[in-house]
Amino acid sequence: MTLKRHSLSLGGHRTSVAIEDAFWREIQRIAQERNISVARLVAEVDEARAGEDPPPNLGSALRLFVLAELKARTRG
């Protein structure tokens, strides 16, 4: 799997995240399911990771978020 860079705006600042397409598609699906933008979903993940010590990079935080979402689906 290769990483692909995706650009978006978080808190009014442009940023980019390198993440595999499979994870990006899941992020898009989850955002659509929640009826929010991808940027809003990524911002929520970004805000949550800030409380971790040390905070993971954004790409890792997004992968862990997708994993947790998929695990929650299989349990319930």
CATH for 25: 1.10.1220.10
Q: Is the pLDDT of residue 9 over 70?
A: yes
Tell me if 44 sits within 8 A of 65, measured CB to CB.
no
| Length of the chain, in residues | 76
Q: Mention every residue, 6+ apart, whose C-beta is less than 8 A from residue 63.
A: 19, 23
Q: Which domain holds residue 70?
A: 3-75
Strands 13-20 and 3-10, how do they pair?
antiparallel
Dump pLDDT digits (tens) for 17-60. Answer: 999 999 999 999 999 999 999 999 999 999 999 888 888 899 99
Residue 75 confidence (pLDDT): 86
How far apart, in whole angstroms, are the C-alpha atoms of residue 52 and residue 39? Answer: 21
Residue 76 confidence (pLDDT): 66
pTM across the whole model: 0.89
Phi, psi of 4 (to 5 degrees): -125, 135
Domain count, the chain: 1
Q: What's the mean pLDDT in 6-23?
A: 92
